[in-house]
Amino acid sequence: MPQTNNLFAGLPNQLAEELVEVLVEDRDVRIERIVSTGHTSPEGFWYDQDENEWVVVLKGEAKLVLENGESVQMRPGDWINIPAHEKHRVEWTTNDAPTVWLAVFYGSD
């Protein structure tokens, strides 16, 4: 039977930690809804993932920083495709309203 839901359902205004929910997963792909409320990557921390990550901001705003120093401002509708092992971090997300991300992880080394 098909599953249905709404990506904006149950959005909290404040969270102690980012909320990560796996929506769909199989051996080749994982789709997550991520909700941030002012969250950032810890100082000195870099994501370094085995999978490629395509991510879009659906609501709110965020800023990503790549290891090469490039910063990427993200607003609703903006997306980025991050290759596996491209180190990146979240510099900031809006704290007055939730930032909702949809992340698709695919492929691997």
pLDDT digits 0-9 by tens, 56-98:
999 999 999 999 999 999 999 999 999 999 999 999 999 889 9
Which long-range contacts link 68-76 to residues 24+ away (Cβ below 8 Å)? none
State if pTM tops 0.85: yes
Do residues 46 and 89 touch, judged by C-beta distance below 8 A?
A: yes
Domain 19-108: top CATH class: mainly beta
Do residues 62 and 93 touch, judged by C-beta distance below 8 A?
A: yes
Task: Give residue-wise pLDDT tens across range 16-36.
Answer: 889 999 999 999 999 999 999
What is the predicted pLDDT for the residue at 11?
A: 87
